[in-house]
Every structure is written in C-alpha cells, then in structure tokens.
Amino acid sequence: MHLTFESGDPTQAPTDALVVLVGTGSESPVWSVPAEDVDTSLSGGLKTLALDARFSGKTGTTLVVPTLGQAVSRRVVLAGVGPVAPLPATAVTRAAGAAARAARDAGARHVAFALPDPDWGIDSASALGAAAIGVSLGLYQFTAYRGAAAPASADGREVETIRFVSPGLDDASAARSLRRAGAVSRAVNFARDLGNEPASILTPEEFAARARSTAESFGLEIEVLGPPELAEIGAAATLAVGGGSVNGPRLIRLRYQPDTNTGDSRVPGLVGKAITFDTGGYSIKPYEGMLDMKGDMSGGAAVLGAMSALRDLECQTPVVATICAAENMISGTAFRPGDVLRGMNGVTMEILSTDAEGRLVLADGLVDTARRGATELIDLATLTGAAVVALGDGTTALFASEDRLADRLLSSAEEVGERMWRMPLIDELEQKIEGDVADIKNTGGRAGGAITAALFLKHFTERLPWAHLDIAGSARQQKASAIGPKGSTGVGVRTLLTYLTA
C-alpha cells in the first residue's frame, strides 16, 4: 500500500473513495468543510442519507455513500471522529482505520483522505501522522498462509493507494510525518506478524533468526545465546522452561546506539517474554486455555518491533533489550513441579506450576539486562490470566516500582490510544510467594495472581526503577477493531516508541 500527501482541495481528487470527517456536536453532527462540499455536489443528499442512517459522527463509525457521477469521487466515506474541540490524534487514528477498512470492504482500490479542518484543534502534520498510522494498522492483514484462491489478501479486496489531501501543509512537514508514521506502523505490523505466525514455524531459533535480520536492516547490535551459552551465564530458569522442547531456548540481546551522543546517561532496558508456545508443561493447560498460546511471545515481539524503529525515529538515548525465547513443552527432559531453580542473581525459585513459566524466563532476562548497563527496566509479557480477569480484554496492566516511570508510561499509552491501567504492588501479598524449600515459589495462588506474578519479577530487578506491562489481555483481540483484524495487535510497540522518543 502506497501513502502520499498532496496539498489542494480533497473534493477535486478523482478516486474510488473519498474519506471525509464528521464530528459529534451537542445536538447534531459537526460536518467538516470537505463533507459539506460533497453534500453540496449531491444537492444535500449526503446529509439526508446520514440522517436516515442515524450517522452520529461517533469515533470509529462510518457510512459509505456512492456518488453515482454527482461528485468527483465514486464514493464518499463519512468517518466519525467524536468531539472536535479539540480533536485528539487518537480519534484521527481510529477514524482513519475504520474508514480505510470500510473503503476496502466497498471494493475501493484508490482512496483519498481529507485531513481535519484547520479549526478542529489539531495541527495538520500531527493529523497526517495519526491518519497514516490509522490506515496502515487498520488495513493490516496476515496473508502468509492464504491459499492460491486469494493469494494477496483475505478475499482479494485490497486498497493500493491512499492520498492524504489538505489545503494547508507544506511538503517537507508532510514527508516527515509520513516517514515517521511509516516507521511506527511497520514496527507494529511486524510485531503482529510474529504474533500471528504458527508456533511450528516461529520457534525460539526462528525468532532469533528474525531478530538477526531485523538488527541488520535497522542498525542494531545483536547477540544470541543458545543452550551452551545460557548454561555459561547461569540462566538455569530459561534452560528449565525450554528444556522440554526439541526447539531449544534462546536469549536474544539487542542494543541500539544513537548516531549522536547527547550525553544522556539514561539507558532504558526492555525485556520481552517470548514463549513461542505455552502448553503449560506438565501443569498442562486445558483445551481452551491452549488455543491462543502461539501468541505467548507477544512481549518479545513488541520489544523487537519497538527496537526496529528506533533509528528511523532518531531516538536520542541508547536502549538495550532482551528477548527471552523458549517453548514450554512436555517430554522426558521437561522441568517438573517441585523442581528448584537458581536465578542468575542467586535467588532460588521453587516450581509449583510449570505453567507459570513466563516469570521464570523473565527472571533471567531482567538480571541479564541490568548487568548489561540498563538504568531502568521495562518488561512486557503475556504473563497472567488474572490480569485479563481483573481488567478485561484490551487493557494492559501496569505495575511499577516508581510513580514517575508509571506516569510517563501511562501518558505515552494514552497519547497513542493503547489502554493501560496501573495496578498496585501490594507488599503484604509477598507472603503468598514465600518458598517452602527455596526463597520464593513461582505461584501465589489464584487470588491477586497478576500482583503476585509482578512481586515475583521484582526479585530480579536488581533495585533498578522497573515497570512491568502484563499484556495478556491486550496482545490479541477476538474480533476486528478500527485499527486491525482479529488476532495479534502488536500492543506495546507504540507506547514504547512514544516513551523512548518523546
């Protein structure tokens, strides 16, 4: 899909579908100037149809209207953006995604998109960036395994070009917005691809191979540790979790070094859980619990996705990252309940459930990242079903050792429209994970399960400021949204990129 910008009057663009924005007002919808202009060409017919359809202008709603030769564009797509005083960038992103999906469903190949009116309280460059991200995420499809009947896409319908049109934006600013939006969307869609890939293909070794080519393409240093090297550094937990699979574990170390050194002494350290398949091990999962477990590497995918865009976005700080890749399977070499493991920092862990494996690989990943010079740690993991029970689908649970870090992550998430809610690290619950034969045990029971998982991780954060994002409820969606289809969402990438580059 090709995205371009041109200045001019959007209603004069000959195209399959013209997207025009409509906001919500106190009594009736707020029509943008291009929407009014198309309505005039249609002798008021557009507003009549919108009224009939009860089109309200709510964010993410759309109405496709054929123009039957009465306007320059073959169709007009009304796209709701909600309240417009001022118009938030996240609403533009959602509206653009929904409109692009509606245009594609209607069969449009070439789309023109009228950017928001200048008096709607968002500058044109930001609006362009937000809209470009919306369409790129909204039109994403995972087509790698589609059969010969529809090779390119799910059903052969595909948008080929999108021209963003606005009367007032200079070409240089527009190009910069499109470039940045392209880097961000590519990173998110890359993370989605990893999350959608079957576990038979995306083994820990294959994850490392993809990290290698990513590092090569986007200017990152990389080092991959396999079982022998993991034994050398004492990563016993990773070896235990990955020990049941013929596809051995990998610890993937990445480093981004900015071109210009700003003298900033901060080195954020990212850590991602990448269980390429989670059967639960001997504490085996039931049928329903195992269905989406190819997506249990989504934390690692978000980390790799974010790392891949840092150079394009000219991130000013160095960033280190660790992806803990392993497959949690059953065999004669698998670990068992009752086993005791020694962490890289000496903390011993008693296994109660082999299904609480994410915190074990993260224990190694956190300590390793701290030792590589990180000054703060942020981990992302599809860690607990309890986080989904607590917050429902679509919301990331945030735990943080410091308010400052928590607040910056929350505002980054809000800025890009990724829903995130802070949860408490309740000290009193620490007793639930006190070990019988070892220092700590790897589950604290059902009550407060997301919190006790976070408290477990805290033992491996080496006193650094630390945040933990439990993305169990947000890494996948069960039905399509404005910004993507059912399946892997790539959640975390945009929050991290905003946090790291703002």
> What is the chain's percent helix, strand, coil content, to nearest 5?
40, 20, 40
DSSP 57: -
Of the residues 285, 311, 342, 419, which is catalytic? 285
Task: Fill in the DSSP letter of residue 2.
Answer: E
Of 89, 344, 121, nearest to 238 by C-alpha is 344
Residue 278 as a binder of Mn ion (CB under 5 A): the answer is yes
Binding of Mn ion at residue 37 (CB under 5 A)? no
List the x/- string, 244-263, binding to ligand BES by CB under 6 A.
Answer: --------------------
Q: Are strands 110-114 and 17-24 parallel, antiparallel or unpaired?
A: parallel
Could you tell me the smallest distance in angstroms from the CB atom of residue 145 to ligand BES? 22
Tokens representing 375 are 């000054």
Residue nearest to Mn ion (CB): 355
Indicate if 285 belongs to the active site: yes
How far is Cα 345 from Cα 457, in angstroms, rounded to an integer?
12
Among 385, 394, 435, 465, binds ligand BES (CB under 6 A): 385
Considering only residues 39, 117, 278, 312, which one is a binding residue for Zn ion as defined by CB under 5 A?
278
Contacts of 468 (CB under 8 A, 6+ apart): 378, 379, 381, 383, 398, 399, 400, 454, 457
**What's the closest the beta carbon of residue 358 comes to ligand BES, in angstroms?**
5
Q: Which of 248, 299, 358, 448 binds Zn ion (CB under 5 A)?
A: 358
Strands 376-381 and 319-328 turn out to be unpaired
Among residues 210, 294, 359, 441, which one is catalytic?
A: 359
Question: Prior bond to 86 cis, omega within 30?
Answer: yes
Separation CA 422–CA 380 (nearest Å): 14
Residue with smallest beta-carbon separation from ligand BES: 385
428-487: contacts with ligand BES (CB under 6 A): 443, 449, 472
Of 193, 206, 350, 355, the one binding Mn ion (CB under 5 A) is: 355
| Minimal distance, residue 383 CB to Zn ion, in Å | 7
Q: Measured between alpha carbons, how far is residue 311 from residues 186, 319, 375, 409 in Å?
A: 13, 11, 20, 21
Q: Is 47 a catalytic residue?
A: no
- Interface residue with ligand BES among 185, 382, 396, 501 (CB under 6 A) is 382
**278 vs 364 by CB, closer to Mn ion:** 278
Does 274 contact ligand BES by CB under 6 A?
no
- Spell out, one character per residue from 281 to 300, where the chain touches Zn ion: x when CB under 5 A holds, - when not: ---------------x----
Q: Does 376 bind Zn ion (CB under 5 A)?
A: no
Q: Contact at 8 Å (CB) between 167 and 7?
A: yes
